[in-house]
Amino acid sequence: MIKAPENTWHHKRLRAEKRFRFYGASALSLAVLILVLLVGSLVWRGLNGFMQSQIQLPITFDQTALGAGEGADIHSLTPSHYMCLVKISLHQMFPEVADPTQLHDLYALVSTGGGISLKKTLQRNPAMLGQSKAVWVPVSSDADLYIKGVVTEKTPEIERSLSNQQIAWLKQLQEKKLVRRVFDRTFFERGDSRTPEEAGFLGAMMGSLLTLLICLAVVFPLGVMTAVYLEEFARPGKWVDIIEVNINNLAAVPSIVFGLLGLAVYINVLGMPRSSALVGGMTLAMMILPVIIITTRVSLKSIPRSIRDAALALGATPLQVVWHHTLPLSMPGIMTGTILGMARAIGETAPLLLIGMVAFVVDLPTGVTSSATVMPVQIYLWASSPEAGFSEKTAAGILVLLVLLLAMNALAIALRKRFEVRW
């Protein structure tokens, strides 16, 4: 065995190494801890947002109560007509309530969206008219928060939007086992709403999808062509250097500046429809363009010179060299860069605020020119809403966004692994 030299200098450098490893491990654990806390709190709060409380009410689809005469078309009735049925049923359950203010509080327990589910039930089965049936009706956001345990009786009455009386009613319903919690499908079926329990994320998801499609369609050909020209065809020189410096600078420009540019060029000069996925996608495309150009150039650079030489020496034209060899070989890198660029675009908020995508949009977007919002902007809108019910919607929205981002990054890694070429 070789003995370690007995001098302090040797021990010192061994200790320095140990110290360094310790610092590194501590930094890593701290980072992991922060990440776990972040994701944990989001999951904890977000999962509630995917759930919706309902109460069971015996509903009589009474024609007169519905306000529909003999032979009237049930399709012409609005959901608010059906709310009458809900109110009647609630009143029958708690016949002791007579005071109009109290009655109002009682009715406030169910969601105004309850009429919609009743309407659907009747439309699916028109024979129900005149019959009675126990129907699950969604509760209002405030009642929902109590059932989920976010708001409890211990909270002082003044600080919560449910009165003691309302809590007492809910408790009675719970004792009768007339309360359940189900997966909130409307979250993935509808657009935004002013009331938390009716607000859905689908509008924002579709808006994001359309925006990203536009962004990809604009930025991919533009970015790849630019990079190929700069890397393979342009004669290196002063002009290429100037362009390169400018592209690198563009990549560092704050995203909100691109929003201003989009507002000025697309909306004011070209007159494109504001708040639309078209303008949003093209604005994000400007923002992502430098990223795509840079990553494409890097992956083109990584193709060995010998491959170009081999093809050129066989008599391939420069275009054939690009088309047959360098571009296919650098595709994994280009795709990875593009997906990471898209992942940046999907989470971008600031430039979209400026082009009007921050509008309150209830309807699902029907095309790239209709008003839309995107996921991060929807999250921002919900986060700044005063109703307590929106905070769990915010967390749920963030979870959806994070899952999509993770999926995109996983796809980027999978593509790189799948198409990686070894020399």
Partner 1 sequence: MAKISAKNINVYYGPKQALFDVDIDIPENDVTALIGPSGCGKSTFLRCLNRMNDTVAGCKVLGIIMVDGMDINASDQDVVQLRSWIGMVFQKPNPFPKSIYENVAYGPRIHQLVKTKSEMDDLVEHSLKKAGLFEEVKDRLNDPGTSLSGGQQQRLCIARTIAVNPEIILMDEPCSALDPIATARIEELIVELKDNFTIVIVTHSMQQAARVSSKTCFFHMGKVIEVGPTSKIFTNPQHQQTQDYITGRYG
Q: For residue 57, give the H/E element and its range.
A: strand 51-60
Distance separating alpha carbons of residues 110 and 178, to the nearest angstrom: 13
Q: Is 304 in the site for partner 1 (CB under 8 A)?
A: yes
Kindly provide the b/e burial profile for residues 389-418, where b requires at least 16 CB atoms within 10 angstroms of the residue's own CB. Answer: bbbbbbbbbbbbbbebbeebeeebeebeee
In the complex, minimum distance from the CB of residue 304 to partner 1, in angstroms, rounded to a whole number = 7
Note the Cα 180 to chain centre separation in Å.
Answer: 27
* Nearest CB to partner 1, comparing residues 145 and 311: 311
Binding residues for partner 1 restricted to 394-423, rule: CB under 8 A = 421-423
One character per residue 124-163, x = contact with partner 1 (rule: CB under 8 A): ----------------------------------------
Binding residues for partner 1 restricted to 17-56, rule: CB under 8 A = none
- Distance from first CA to last CA of the chain, Å, rounded? 42
**Long-range Cβ pairs for the range 8-15 (8 Å, 24+):** none
CB 338 within 8 A of CB 330: no
In the complex, minimum distance from the CB of residue 4 to partner 1, in angstroms, rounded to a whole number = 42
In the complex, minimum distance from the CB of residue 421 to partner 1, in angstroms, rounded to a whole number = 5
Q: Give how far Cα 5 sits from Cα of 1, 12, 20, Å.
A: 12, 12, 22
List helix spans (H) across 150-201: 164-175
Binding residues for partner 1 restricted to 308-327, rule: CB under 8 A = 308-317, 320, 324-325
Distance separating alpha carbons of residues 70 and 270, to the nearest angstrom: 55
One character per residue 233-262, x = contact with partner 1 (rule: CB under 8 A): --xx--------------------------
Distance separating alpha carbons of residues 281 and 355, to the nearest angstrom: 11
Distance separating alpha carbons of residues 5 and 76, to the nearest angstrom: 95
* Nearest CB to partner 1, comparing residues 166 and 336: 336
Q: Give how far Cα 236 sits from Cα of 229, 240, 243, 310, 345, Å.
A: 11, 6, 11, 22, 31
In the complex, minimum distance from the CB of residue 328 to partner 1, in angstroms, rounded to a whole number = 9
* Nearest CB to partner 1, comparing residues 221 and 236: 236
Cα Rg, the chain, nearest whole Å: 30
Question: CA quadruple 69, 74, 78, 84: dihedral positive or negative?
Answer: positive
In the complex, minimum distance from the CB of residue 325 to partner 1, in angstroms, rounded to a whole number = 7
* Nearest CB to partner 1, comparing residues 65 and 312: 312
* Nearest CB to partner 1, comparing residues 183 and 233: 233
In the complex, minimum distance from the CB of residue 314 to partner 1, in angstroms, rounded to a whole number = 4
One character per residue 204-233, x = contact with partner 1 (rule: CB under 8 A): ------------------------------
In the complex, minimum distance from the CB of residue 244 to partner 1, in angstroms, rounded to a whole number = 15
Q: Which of 151, 329, 335, 396 binds partner 1 (CB under 8 A)?
A: 329
* Nearest CB to partner 1, comparing residues 107 and 419: 419
Coil, strand, or helix at residue 267? helix
* Nearest CB to partner 1, comparing residues 18 and 324: 324
CB 63 within 8 A of CB 132: no
In the complex, minimum distance from the CB of residue 332 to partner 1, in angstroms, rounded to a whole number = 12
Distance separating alpha carbons of residues 220 and 328, to the nearest angstrom: 15
* Nearest CB to partner 1, comparing residues 2 and 313: 313
In the complex, minimum distance from the CB of residue 28 to partner 1, in angstroms, rounded to a whole number = 37
Q: Which residues are near partner 1 by CB under 8 A?
A: 235-236, 304, 306-317, 320, 324-325, 329, 421-423
